[in-house]
């Protein structure tokens, strides 16, 4: 609930109390409410941000993963469409145990129109297989942006914003048991934060899509692991934590 909504409810209750009590209006009480999107909860000794990723758009009951994919392939909401070969909407199974969300397509993904098919994607598949997960049986793989940023640069805010509704609809329709945010860009975009990935990983946060909450775990992007062997151990710890929650 937003701060404004809470204040409206409190004002109504105060008026009702006055009406049922003395019949006179009491002095207005200044409540110190906070927005639910800023609430912090404790988990495992670290603070998890409960953040709302809902857009102002309402959910269309006729929506489907296939419909979203077709919209993405035709999308021209941002400049990334100008140089793409193929958009990469995502792939995997419906109602997955885990929805993996990365940054955006790279060169191989742009050529094939599929997410995580290059060297980083091959490593991701091995990482998932190590905890009995696969895009063929119990996972869905997607990205924050669906078209390749030039030279694999970080997506710009207007580009992530253009894809936000696509991703939100995918999350809501897929209803994954858990979301795995792979890499800094995915983590910061989904959690609406600028905190480092080192501070974000290691514990579960929660995001929302059309009012439904989903637990999210942050880990390092496979491409970063390929560049830095020191990230292998913490990434494995993240996967073991996810596996312990999945119970598989």
Residue 178 placed within a domain: yes
Residue 126 placed within a domain: yes
Question: For 117, left (φ over 0), alpha (ψ -120 to 50), or beta?
Answer: alpha
- Spell out the per-residue pLDDT of the chain, length 248, in tens: 454 554 555 565 566 555 555 555 655 555 444 444 433 333 343 444 434 444 445 667 889 999 999 999 999 999 999 999 999 999 999 999 999 999 999 999 999 999 999 999 999 999 999 999 999 999 999 999 999 999 999 999 999 999 999 999 999 999 999 999 999 999 999 999 999 999 999 999 999 999 999 999 999 999 999 999 999 999 999 999 999 999 87
Residue 220 placed within a domain: yes
Per the structure, the count of domains in the chain is 1
**pLDDT at position 31:** 46
pTM of the model: 0.78
Residue 5 placed within a domain: no
Residue 3 placed within a domain: no
The arrangement of strands across the sheet holding 139-143 comes to 91-92, 139-143, 98-102, 178-182, 212-219, 204-209
DSSP one-letter string for 100-120: EEES---HHHHHHT-SS-SHH
Range(s) of the domain holding residue 177? 39-246
Residues 19-41 pLDDT 10s: 555 555 655 555 444 444 433 33
Residue 7 placed within a domain: no
CATH code of the domain containing 171: 3.40.470.10
Residue 13 placed within a domain: no
| Cα 77 to Cα 59, 80, 89, 146, 160, distances in angstroms | 19, 8, 15, 11, 10
């Amino acid at each position: 609930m937003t701060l404004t909504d809470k204040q409206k409810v409190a004002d109504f209750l105060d008026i009702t109390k006055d009406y049922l009590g003395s019949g006179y209006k009491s002095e207005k009480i200044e409540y110190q409410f906070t927005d639910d999107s800023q609430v912090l909860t404790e988990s495992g000794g670290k603070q998890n941000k409960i953040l709302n990723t809902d857009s102002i758009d309402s959910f269309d009951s006729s929506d489907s993963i296939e419909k979203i994919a077709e919209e993405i392939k035709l999308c021209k909401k941002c400049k990334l469409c100008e140089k793409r070969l193929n958009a990469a909407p995502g792939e995997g199974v419906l109602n997955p145990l885990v929805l993996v969300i990365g940054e955006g397509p790279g060169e191989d993904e742009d050529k094939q129109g599929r997410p995580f098919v290059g060297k980083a994607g091959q490593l991701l598949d091995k990482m998932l297989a190590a905890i009995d997960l696969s895009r063929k049986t119990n996972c869905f793989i997607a990205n924050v942006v669906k078209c390749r940023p030039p030279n694999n640069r970080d997506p710009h805010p207007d580009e992530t914003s253009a894809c936000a509704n696509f991703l939100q609809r995918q999350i809501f329709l897929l209803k994954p048991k858990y979301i795995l945010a792979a890499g800094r860009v995915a983590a910061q975009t989904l959690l609406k934060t600028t905190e480092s990935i080192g501070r974000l990983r290691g514990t579960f946060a929660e995001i929302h899509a059309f009012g439904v909450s989903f637990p999210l775990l942050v880990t390092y992007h496979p491409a970063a692991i390929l560049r830095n062997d020191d990230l292998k151990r913490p990434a494995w710890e993240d996967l073991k934590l996810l596996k312990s929650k999945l119970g598989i």
